[in-house]
Amino acid sequence: MLHFSGSLTRLVGELKKLPGVGEKSALRLAFHLLKYPGNIEALAESLMQVKEKVRFCSLCFAITEDDPCWICSGERDGATLCVVEEPQDLLALERSRAFRGRYHVLQGALSPLNGVTPRDLRIAELMQRLEGGEVREVLIATNFTVEGEATALYLTRMIKPLGIKVTRLAHGIPIGSDLEYVDAATVQRAVEGRSEL
What lies within 8 Å, CB to CB, of 152 at 6+ separation is: 140, 142, 168
| Residue from the set 59, 60, 61, 69 that interacts with its own copies by CB under 8 A | 69
The reply on whether position 19 binds its own copies by CB under 8 A is yes
User: Which ranges of 21-72 does DSSP label H, i.e. alpha helix?
Assistant: 23-35, 37-53
| Residue from the set 22, 23, 36, 157 that interacts with its own copies by CB under 8 A | 36
Which is nearer to its own copies, 58 or 167 (by Cβ)? Answer: 58
> Within a 10 A sphere around the Cβ of 90, how many other Cβ atoms?
23
CB of 2 to its own copies, least distance (A): 10
Angle (nearest 5°) at CA 52 between 50 and 55: 75
The reply on whether position 78 binds its own copies by CB under 8 A is no
DSSP 36: -
Q: Would you say 15 and 30 are in contact if contact means Cβ atoms under 8 Å apart? A: yes
Number of residues interacting with its own copies: please give it, by CB under 8 A. Answer: 54
The reply on whether position 191 binds its own copies by CB under 8 A is no
Task: Give the binding site for its own copies (CB under 8 A).
Answer: 1, 3-8, 10-11, 13-15, 17-20, 25, 27-34, 36-37, 39-54, 62-65, 69-71, 86-88, 91
